[in-house]
Amino acid sequence: MKPGFLDKLLARIDRIDPAEARQLLDRLVREKGFLEQVFEALHEGVIVLDDDGEISFINGAACRFFGIDPETAVGTLLTARIPGLDWASLVESKMVVSRDLEIFYPDNRFLNFYLSPIRHEHSPNAAFGWVMLVRDLTTTRAEAEQTLESERLNALTLLAAGVAHEIGNPLNSLDIHLQLMARKLRKLPPGDRAPLEENLTTARNEIKRLDTILRQFLQAIRPTTPNRERCDLPKVLSDAVKLLEPELAARGVAVELSLASDFPLMEVDAGQFQQVFYNLLRNAFQAIGGDKGVIRVQAKANDFEATFTIEDNGTGIPPEQMGSLFEPYRTTKQSGTGLGLLIVRRVVREHGGEIEIQSEPGSGTRVLIHLPRGPRPVRLLETPPNIIDID
């Protein structure tokens, strides 16, 4: 740091008694080591800089945040280590600065840094250095997003109760009256009956469509308790493929199955997961346009989790739509309700898992479902050969 206490001390070193100077230097070394240990113990990043933005000290947390080598960082400019920072604009006001930033290397993180000037004791308006404190907000942001999503789903649940009452009952009443009308139409002459029956069929189909949307909406957001039983999930996945075989054949879409033969039985709701796989497979073949469509389905497991992958070679998902895939009524299909993925994620999360979607326009889409296998069983280790048991 310049000009620092050590610089002043060295400038007057010839006027200080050698014994006193040695004591002062020993004290400085001890205090420096103590402060470095304190800074290294912090989870927050600490960077000390001079007025030009040159690094004088950086602790381990800051090095991990930004992927900086601590051995070569001291003496280099901060802007050379963290590209994208405009040092001149940050220190222009000579005041405390607090900013958020997103970094992508070495990990994608959301950080907040607090930049505070170090001022002269006798010149409070002049800064001869800066301290930057860096906090990791990644987990906090994720928790805030989960809280917001939970509040949104709670609001939708309350809305669902009103929808079920205000729309469900009138739909049932309309369906009953249309059935009565159908009975009376049978008494009319065939010439008069045909156009009326056509209109009646259209009305009944629309009522069925509204009833389907209502049921999917309630199923998507209404809290449910999975009926867990030990089941063979790869078989459930195969059954979902068989249900869609006529549509897949009509579209000329091939399905490549790669299901691990040693896949373990899992405690899940088989009915709910059949719907999960059915929805994802339908999304996959609907995203494929033209011939030579392929859907690759994989199921594998390790000691910790089971992973299911459904991948297509379809049109892919534009980047601007990736952030809203799980929002209700967001769909790119003319006949879609926009509730399928919301239902899928709710079922997966109720089983303690998570869904991951990877996609690029023109390169298809890959959906991965990660499910925990539960607590890992105890495994006894063999006694190393160089250890002798003593009774």
Round to whole Å and give the CA distance between 175 and 167: 12
How much is the pTM?
A: 0.48
Task: Output the six-digit token pair for 287.
Answer: 């995203």
Sign of CA dihedral 61, 62, 65, 69: negative
**Residues in the chain, overall count:** 391
Which is nearest to 132 in space by CA: 68, 44, 64?
Answer: 44
Contacts with 65 (C-beta within 8 Å, 6 or more apart), sequence order: 45, 103, 109, 111, 134, 136
Pairing, β 293-301 against β 253-259: parallel
Contact 298, 304 (CB under 8 A): no
DSSP single-letter state for residue 56: E
Contact 73, 66 (CB under 8 A): no
Round to whole Å and give the CA distance between 63 and 72: 11
Please measure the distance between the N-terminal and C-terminal CA atoms of the chain and give it in whole angstroms.
64
- CA angle centred on 139, ends 137 and 144, rounded to 5°: 90
Q: Can you give the pLDDT of all 391 residues of the chain as single tens digits?
A: 444 555 655 566 556 666 665 666 666 666 666 667 777 777 888 898 888 899 988 888 899 889 898 888 889 999 888 888 888 888 887 888 888 888 888 888 888 888 888 876 666 666 678 889 998 888 887 777 777 766 766 676 666 666 666 777 788 888 888 888 888 888 888 777 777 888 888 888 888 878 777 776 666 556 567 788 999 999 999 999 998 888 888 888 899 999 998 899 999 988 889 889 988 998 888 888 766 789 999 999 988 889 999 999 888 888 778 777 777 655 555 444 456 787 788 888 888 889 989 888 888 899 999 999 865 444 445 555 554 444 4
Rg (CA), the chain: 33
Round to whole Å and give the CA distance between 185 and 181: 6
Contact 270, 310 (CB under 8 A): no
Contacts with 264 (C-beta within 8 Å, 6 or more apart), sequence order: 301, 306, 373
Contact 62, 46 (CB under 8 A): yes
Task: Output the six-digit token pair for 223.
Answer: 């809290």
